[in-house]
Chain A
C-alpha cells in the first residue's frame, strides 16, 4: 500500500536525522534511544486504524523535530553523567551548558571555576614551595591577599604562612576540589526541573 510505504519513509527519515543529531555518544546508547523512539512510533501506528502515513506524520510532529529531541536527550544525559561521575571535564561541560541558560547556571559555573582554581592553586603552592621558597606563598598586599608565585616578592608584600603552606596546601587543595565537585553536583541535582530549557 502506498500510504504504508510513505509512512515507512517518513519514519526512517526521522530516525536518520535523529541519529545524526545525537552526535557523539556511545553506539549502544544511541541504538537504545533510536529503538525507543522507533517502538514508540510503531506503537502509535499499530494502535490506530486510520491512514498510516497520517498517523506517522502526527506522531513525528508530537515528538518534535529530531534536532530538538536529540538536544533534550543530550542535555538530560549530560546532567545524569555529571552527577554520577567526579570527572572535572564532564562537570565543567554540564555546568557550562547550564550557565548558558540563566543566572543560576552562571553562578554555579562561577563557583565551579573559583573552587577549582583555589584547589589547584593551593596544591601548586604546596608542591612549588620547596623549590622556590622565597617566591611562593600567601601574600598580604593590603588590602588584598594573593596566593601563588611572585618573582618580585619584595618588601611591599608580606608572606603569611611560611612553610605551613605545604601541609595547608596539601590538605586545603584536595578538599577544595572535592567540596567544589560535591557542591556543584548538588546544585545540578537541585536545579529547577525545567525539561525543555533546563
Chain B
C-alpha cells in the first residue's frame, strides 16, 4: 500500500476510459492515441499496455478498426468508437466526474485551495 503503488493503480484503473476518450472526436491509430494522451494529459501510456487493451475493446465491440493507407509506405490501423463504445465512454465519464467531484469535496479539508488555487487570494 505504498503511495506510489496506489498512484499507479489509480492510473491503470482510468486507462480504459482515457483510451476510449481519446477516440471521441475522431478515429486515431495507435501511435496517434499515445501522442494524444501525452499532449492532452501528460499521460505516458506504454505501447505494450495499449495494444492488448485495444484488442480487447475491439472484441468487446466498443471499437472497430480499419486499415488505411496513410501514404507512408505501410498502412495504419485506425480505431473508431462504436455506438456501444460511445455509450460506455459517456457512462464511464459521468461516473468519473461524479467521483472526482466527491473526492474534491472530501479533500477540501486536506487541500483547501483544491484545484482552484489560481483563484485564491
Nearest Cβ distance between residue A59 and chain B, in whole angstroms?
7
Tell me which residues across on chain A come within 8 A of B72, comparing CB atoms. 43, 46
- The interface of chain B, by Cβ under 8 A from chain A, is 9, 12-13, 15-16, 29-31, 46-49, 51-56, 59-60, 72-77
Please judge, given known A-B contacts A36-B51, A72-B48, whether A195 and B12 are in contact too, CB under 8 Å: yes
Tell me which residues across on chain B come within 8 A of A62, comparing CB atoms. 46-48
A40 touches B15 (CB 8 A): no
CB of A117 closer than 8 Å to a CB of B: no
Tell me which residues across on chain A come within 8 A of B60, comparing CB atoms. 80, 83-84
Interface pairs (24), CB distance under 8 Å:
A33-B51, A36-B54, A36-B55, A37-B51, A39-B74, A40-B30, A42-B74, A43-B29, A43-B72, A43-B74, A44-B31, A46-B74, A47-B31, A63-B46, A64-B46, A64-B48, A73-B52, A73-B55, A76-B53, A77-B52, A77-B59, A193-B13, A193-B15, A194-B12
Q: Please measure, in the bound complex, the distance between the C-alpha atom of A63 and the C-alpha atom of B47, giving whole angstroms.
A: 5
Tell me which residues across on chain A come within 8 A of B74, comparing CB atoms. 39, 42-43, 46
Chain A residue at minimal CB-CB distance from B54: A36
CB of A104 closer than 8 Å to a CB of B: no
Please judge, given known A-B contacts A36-B51, A63-B48, whether A196 and B12 are in contact too, CB under 8 Å: yes
Chain A residue at minimal CB-CB distance from B16: A193
Chain A residue at minimal CB-CB distance from B51: A36
Tell me which residues across on chain B come within 8 A of A43, comparing CB atoms. 29-31, 72, 74, 76
Chain A residue at minimal CB-CB distance from B45: A195
Q: Please measure, in the bound complex, the distance between the C-alpha atom of A84 and the C-alpha atom of B84, giving whole angstroms.
A: 14
Q: Please measure, in the bound complex, the distance between the C-alpha atom of A181 and the C-alpha atom of B13, giving whole angstroms.
A: 25
B48 touches A77 (CB 8 A): no
B47 is contacted by which of A59, A83, A195 (Cβ under 8 Å)? Answer: A59
- In residues 14-71 of chain A, which contact B (Cβ within 8 Å)? 32-33, 36-37, 39-40, 42-44, 46-47, 59, 62-64, 68-69
Q: Please measure, in the bound complex, the distance between the C-alpha atom of A42 and the C-alpha atom of B26, giving whole angstroms.
A: 23
